Amino acid sequence: SLTGSPVTLKILQNWVPRVSHYFDKEHYTYVGHQIVIQESIEHFGAVVWPGALALSQYLETNQEQFNLKDKKVLEIGAGTGLLSIVACILGAHVTATDLPEVLENLSYNISRNTQNLNMHKPEVRKLVWGEGLNEDFPVSTFHYDFILATDVVYHHGALDPLLATMVYFCKPGTVLLWANKFRFSTDYEFLEKVCNIFNTTILAEFPESNVKLLKATVRKN
């Protein structure tokens, strides 16, 4: 059951074209800050996907609706770290997580873009969906106000562990914000599963890039 009448938006080109010797650096501007992202061609997780741009833009322009200041925010599948950096600039206590092989580039991007900012220092941690959640993120210690996920659903075999991870971290009071490019039937099947478990609202659609932005919360019993 999907509620909401989504706004239709366009992903603004917030990147700044540069003449650069490096093909792998992208320059963006969000919340008045220039953000330089190093991409890596080795990994899916090390390229900026449209969902991250869509959610970064949405959080920047809807700060009253989703005030991240001093909130605890967990990003799953953080990739290059763009969204975690934007959340940090917006004042959140950010924990950015991804697979071990992505963490070096993720840490590099986050530290270089947040080191001189007077805000909560973000944390980068390994998180393999569905694995070791109780050990690494025990419920008694870790509670998040927001879970952020962008372009985590595509052709891969980890959709069940991904859903289990979303369920694990979404406690009463937690808001899951998920932006995804919808291109495969598996994407819609996953959306259906999310709708069956959570109260789910479509906040925005970006038709040019086939991105939907959804908000999900735990159902009250």
Show Cβ contacts of residue 162 under 8 Å, excluding neighbours closer than 6 positions: 76, 77, 129, 130, 152, 153, 190
Mean pLDDT of 155-161: 86
CA distance 36 to 150: 19
Q: How confident is the model at residue 121 (pLDDT cuts 50, 70, 90)?
A: very high
Mean confidence (pLDDT) of the chain: 90
The DSSP secondary structure of 174-187, one letter per residue, reads -EEEEEEE--SHHH
Given this model, what pLDDT does residue 9 score? Answer: 86
Domains belonging to the chain, first-starting first, are: 44-218 (3.40.50.150)
**Higher local confidence (pLDDT), 48 or 60:** 60
- pLDDT tens track for 124-152: 999 999 999 999 999 889 999 999 999 99
Q: Name the percent of the chain lying above pLDDT 70.
A: 90
**Does 204 score more than 80 pLDDT?**
yes
Given this model, what pLDDT does residue 143 score? Answer: 95
Q: Which residues pair with 6 in a beta bridge?
A: none
Given this model, what pLDDT does residue 168 score? Answer: 97
The DSSP secondary structure of the chain, one letter per residue, reads -EE--PEE------B-----S-TTEEEEEETTEEEEEE--TT-GGGS--HHHHHHHHHHHHTTTTS--TT-EEEEES-TTSHHHHHHHHTT-EEEEEE-GGGHHHHHHHHHHHHTTSSSPPPEEEE--TTSSHHHHS-TTT---SEEEEES--SS-S-HHHHHHHHHHH--TT-EEEEEEE--SHHHHHHHHHHHHHEEEEEEEEEGGGTEEEEEEEEPP-
